[in-house]
Amino acid sequence: MALKMVKGSIDRMFDKNLQDLVRGIRNHKEDEAKYISQCIDEIKQELKQDNIAVKANAVCKLTYLQMLGYDISWAAFNIIEVMSASKFTFKRIGYLAASQCFHEGTDVIMLTTNQIRKDLSSPNQYDTGVALTGLSCFVTPDLARDLANDIMTLMSHTKPYIRKKAVLIMYKVFLKYPESLRPAFPRLKEKLEDPDPGVQSAAVNVICELARRNPKNYLSLAPLFFKLMTSSTNNWVLIKIIKLFGALTPLEPRLGKKLIEPLTNLIHRILIEDSDQNLKYLGLLAMSKILKTHPKSVQSHKDLILQCLDDKDESIRLRALDLLYGMVSKKNLMEIVKKLMIHVDKAEGTTYRDELLTKIIDICSQSNYQYITNFEWYISILVELTRLEGTRHGHLIAAQMLDVAIRVKAIRKFAVSQMAMLLDNAHLIASNTQRNGICEVLYAAAWICGEFSEHLEEPNQTLEAMLRPKVTTLPGHIQAVYVQNMVKLYASILQQKEQAGEKESSQEITQLMIDRLPQFVQSADLEVQERASCILQLIKYIQKLQAKEVPVAEEVIALFAGELNPVAPKAQKKVPVPEGLDLDAWINEPPSDSESEDEKPKTIFHDEEQRHSRPRQPEMDEEELARRREARKQEQANNPFYIKSSPSPQKRYQDTPGVEHIPVVQIDLSVPLKVPGMPMSDQYVKLEEERRHKQKLEKDKKKKKQKKEKKGKHHRHNSLHTESDEDIAPAQHVDIITEEMPENALPSDEDDKDPNDPYKALDIDLDKPLADSEKLPVQKHRNTENLKSPDTEVPLVEKKSKKPKKKEKKHKEREREKEKKKDKERKVDEEEKKVILRHVLREDLESVQNGTLDDEPLPTYDIQGNLQNDSQVTVSVIFENKSTSFVKSMELNVLDSLNTKMIRPEGSSVHDGIPVPFQLPPGISNEAQFVFTLQSIVMAQKLKGTLSFIVKNDEGSTHEKLDFKLHFSCASYLITTPCYSDAFAKLLESGDLHMNSIKVDGISISFQHLLAKICFHHHFSVVERVDSCASMYSRSIQGHHVCLLVKKGENSVSVDGKCNEPTLLSNLLDEMKETLSMC
């Protein structure tokens, strides 16, 4: 056997391994592709062999090839084979390959579910670790659903290595399976206080990721994070928490209000002026964040930011640009854009130049051109931008030109003159049409000149420019616009000429069209060709009419009548569905499947009677029909979207008053519109300054008149820079035509939300208590129909409500006695209690501690096995002050036993109590934890203890005491650990377990309920269940295995236990007997 293995491995060592492959590829630089295809053939042969080592080696090589860009998805099944190898060495190779090439579309991924589950529960922590790492890369919604519960169990694994991975992967699980968030969240929260820093950091990481997307759900965690922030020494955790606070601050303004101003200055001073490029970058980044909430504090650093535009580092330049976007105001827009234009000229490399261009447009057009005071200036800027060569953003400029020309009515004349100029100089712009995106602007220019042709100074010249042969070299869609708009232009020229009575020239222009249009008819672009030939025919027809001296202009112009109004992009979406209209309802009766098969086709037409027998065909008389028709007409008349069949008065002619309802405010032009030649936008800056200055003076004059007596104080001339934004009136009193919205549109702010946002599903309220139905799907074993998931919260709630009552009663009696002794006349308030030690049953490892079995009214509490230390338990106690007095100086002391000792601070004696680290105002509760060390866990323990405290009220303060008992049951040392049947069987076979059994009679509850009780109270998990027989498993904190076989008879239950510690087992069984006898 061994010999065979050695022989096999000797054969194998001459196989090509990963290093050989890499070396081979490096040695075959000339014919790499050929060499790799050879290697892939070899790999395919290796994959066919049965030896798993050979397969793993092959998969390892494939992983490398994948990184070089070769598709290896064909080997997905082999990868799964290697993943399921028993040796960690191979398993790791398999999971690495899977994480590199599996994704949601990989169909074999569903085959991995059971393999992954097996690996997750492997006794070898590295098997589990490698499975978690792999899963984090390719988790699908199905995998997430099926494995969520297993992963959640791992969050409480004994090894921190597994815990941290399990915690981190939960985020991926939440993303794919949002339903798991609420059930898993309590435990995730618990992990924020995990003793291992790695686990803690993972939990912070996950919660920060969640909170970043939906901060409002995590506001309640703010105090906890604040505590972590002050206590944590891990920088990673700190950074994450600060980022989290960044997300929370907008929701809770008090959190950071005061810090803003000094912080900004700090950033300014330290970061941007710093010579270190990294810090400079981060400073700018921070500024852009502050800008969103506190624009004023950033605006003062404008010059500094403009300086950054000159930085040699592109990253910094881009950051600075981004900042400028948020810094503009009416006052400084022109100045900033001017600086940017200078940079555009200087910029090398198209990427940065394109970035500048988009930024200029973004800056100017933001919030509906809010900051533009002079649109002529803006058009000039756009025209100047067309001189950029090689930009990809011609369409952006074009879109802006169109938008401004359509929406700012006052600017149309100016825009048209500029566009005409562009068309005239088209040869400059379109010099290199193939690579040059700038020719897109001609699209806009042609459209604007055509649509608003009435504003053209020299329409003939423009028309000729549009008909130049050079135009045919433009891209098809631009030519199409040319063709369409030259007709508009032609129509308006025709009208002018006809009105002026110039028949000759109107015929000339028709002839020109007929001469030049054929060049478009020959176009290879279908759109151009179709439009051109159509229009050519039309014009030929016009020519005929002109020859007969029929006036045609009116009719031609009617072709293009009507104004185009901007409509809001989401107009249709915002119209509510009218009441009573069900869009999903059938308009006609849905064809029923059964009938259509049976029915013969002819019956549909002939069998009248059958028709009548159908219930959904109500008979209608003439009256009813008429009534309905009338109602429908009425409805249509009120419906703005119903296109009426009669010609609408709005659509007929341009000069009809149909467009009046568009809210265009008449303008008062104070700037001369005629600007000869190519405008330099700079002149507007000057003009604008003068204009503002004038305005200011006028305003001042008015003020002076009003306050004549204060005249003397107005010596100081207000400089432009102190002027506030509101003072600047736009040059053209331009109101932008707002986008039209249907009358009954609903304002909604949901526009911005992307329905495909994967994080939206995680917007879940986490403070709501868990409902019964909310639990993670648990992998069920055969025959365990509806066994309750161990992590139900219901019993917890029950117990909480029951237990304190007992305690309260006792306590009240004590209170009364005390009061009597003191001979005070004060009436005892029934409700008044000083402090109640309420036990909090903290959920841990799927079940909670059972403290209800003892007959004595001992104070209950929660004992948690310490996962890191096999001889420690943590007792959590919640102190609640139900009195009306202030409770302070609480001290908890326990009489140690030989076995169980409370851990006290160093140097204190065993008789000293441990101070509780807080005070309790009335009505407040708080939790404190105490750690105990144990030597042996095989026996249950009871410890007596005292809580001393000072009660302070108006009458002074008294010192009081409260006695209690702590009961450490054996079950509290158990940790629910999942176990699979094969591992369980091996454990039983091993033979080093001791056996014991109990039998309890008179059990009436169902077996299923019974199992749930054992799971819940004694921290067991069901391994397998067959009929009325089940095997269960648990582990103690010191690593004892406990196996149970539970059998249910008619009225009795027998429990056979096996454990490697006989005393522990018998004690556990005794406890169990008590639980069961209470059933």
Q: Are 337 and 379 in contact (CB under 8 A)?
A: no
Site string for other proteins, 240-269 (x = CB under 8 A): ---x--------------------------
Residue choice 281, 377, 932, 968 for contact with other proteins (CB under 8 A): 281
Residue choice 42, 111, 115, 161 for contact with other proteins (CB under 8 A): 161
Closest among 799, 775, 786, 796 to 847, alpha carbons compared: 796
Interface stretch with other proteins, choices 16-24, 574-582, 748-756, 876-884 (CB under 8 A): 16-24
Closest among 441, 530, 413 to 483, alpha carbons compared: 530
Residue with token string 């690579």: 435
Say which amino acid occupies 628. R
Residue choice 82, 139, 379, 1064 for contact with other proteins (CB under 8 A): 139
Residue 350 binding other proteins, by CB under 8 A: no
Residue 6 binding other proteins, by CB under 8 A: yes
Count the site residues for other proteins by CB under 8 A: 85
CA distance 353 to 769: 55
Residue choice 230, 231, 235, 646 for contact with other proteins (CB under 8 A): 235
Q: Which is nearer to other proteins, 108 or 545 (CB)?
A: 108
Minimum CB separation from other proteins for residue 978, in Å? 22
Closest among 111, 183, 96 to 142, alpha carbons compared: 111
Site string for other proteins, 179-218 (x = CB under 8 A): ------------------xx--xx--xx-xx--x------
Residue 20 binding other proteins, by CB under 8 A: yes
Beta bridge partners of 1058: 995, 1043
Here the tokens at position 822 are: 């003191």
Q: Which is nearer to other proteins, 104 or 635 (CB)?
A: 104
CA distance 874 to 929: 7
Minimum CB separation from other proteins for residue 961, in Å? 46
Q: Is 595 exposed, middle or buried (0-12, 13-18, 19+ CB in 10 A)?
A: exposed
Residue 51 binding other proteins, by CB under 8 A: no
Here the tokens at position 532 are: 């051109």
Residue choice 55, 81, 82, 171 for contact with other proteins (CB under 8 A): 171
- The Cβ of residue 484 has, within 10 Å, a number of other Cβ atoms equal to 20
Residue 285 binding other proteins, by CB under 8 A: yes
Residue 307 binding other proteins, by CB under 8 A: no
Interface stretch with other proteins, choices 274-282, 525-533, 583-591, 1012-1020 (CB under 8 A): 274-282
Helices (H), 330-456: 333-346, 350-369, 375-385, 394-407, 412-424, 426-429, 440-451
Give me the DSSP letters along 898-919: SSEEE---TT--TTPPEEPS--
Interface stretch with other proteins, choices 180-188, 280-288, 302-310, 819-827 (CB under 8 A): 280-288
Minimum CB separation from other proteins for residue 871, in Å? 24
Region 991-1010 residues binding other proteins, contact defined as CB under 8 A:
none
Region for 953 from its dihedrals, namely left if φ exceeds 0, alpha if ψ lies in -120 to 50, beta otherwise: beta
Beta bridge partners of 902: 932
Interface stretch with other proteins, choices 234-242, 252-260, 516-524, 826-834 (CB under 8 A): 234-242
Say which amino acid occupies 379. I
Give CA angle at 909 (904, 915), nearest 5°: 45
Residue choice 214, 299, 315, 543 for contact with other proteins (CB under 8 A): 315
Interface stretch with other proteins, choices 130-138, 394-402, 993-1001, 1017-1025 (CB under 8 A): 130-138
Residue choice 34, 45, 49, 67 for contact with other proteins (CB under 8 A): 67
Site string for other proteins, 479-518 (x = CB under 8 A): ----------------------------------------
Region for 956 from its dihedrals, namely left if φ exceeds 0, alpha if ψ lies in -120 to 50, beta otherwise: left
Residue 13 binding other proteins, by CB under 8 A: yes
Q: Which is nearer to other proteins, 636 or 868 (CB)?
A: 868
CA distance 688 to 680: 13
Q: Which is nearer to other proteins, 10 or 585 (CB)?
A: 10
Residue 442 binding other proteins, by CB under 8 A: no
Backbone angles phi, psi at 249, to 5 degrees: -55, -45
- The Cβ of residue 1003 has, within 10 Å, a number of other Cβ atoms equal to 18
Here the tokens at position 676 are: 């000869």
Minimum CB separation from other proteins for residue 766, in Å? 19
Interface stretch with other proteins, choices 4-12, 34-42, 467-475, 492-500 (CB under 8 A): 4-12
Q: Which is nearer to other proteins, 244 or 430 (CB)?
A: 244
Minimum CB separation from other proteins for residue 25, in Å? 10
CA distance 940 to 971: 9
Contacts of 746 (CB under 8 A, 6+ apart): 574, 575, 576
Site string for other proteins, 785-814 (x = CB under 8 A): ------------------------------
Q: Are 357 and 330 in contact (CB under 8 A)?
A: no
Residue 342 binding other proteins, by CB under 8 A: no
Residue choice 34, 48, 87, 686 for contact with other proteins (CB under 8 A): 87
Q: How far is CA 745 from CA 572, 577, 741, in A?
A: 8, 10, 7
Q: Are 321 and 315 in contact (CB under 8 A)?
A: no
CA distance 41 to 512: 70
Residue 234 binding other proteins, by CB under 8 A: yes
Minimum CB separation from other proteins for residue 147, in Å? 14
Give CA angle at 630 (629, 636), nearest 5°: 90
H-helix or E-strand containing 963? strand 956-968
Region 839-898 residues binding other proteins, contact defined as CB under 8 A:
none
Q: Which is nearer to other proteins, 349 or 747 (CB)?
A: 349
Sign of CA dihedral 574, 576, 582, 586: negative
Minimum CB separation from other proteins for residue 94, in Å? 12
CA distance 377 to 392: 23
Residue choice 33, 50, 69, 905 for contact with other proteins (CB under 8 A): 69
Residue choice 39, 47, 75, 96 for contact with other proteins (CB under 8 A): 96
Residue 395 binding other proteins, by CB under 8 A: no
Q: Are 323 and 332 in contact (CB under 8 A)?
A: no
Region 99-128 residues binding other proteins, contact defined as CB under 8 A:
99-100, 103-105, 124, 126
Residue choice 117, 157, 163, 165 for contact with other proteins (CB under 8 A): 165
Region 316-335 residues binding other proteins, contact defined as CB under 8 A:
316, 318-319
3-state secondary structure of 207: helix
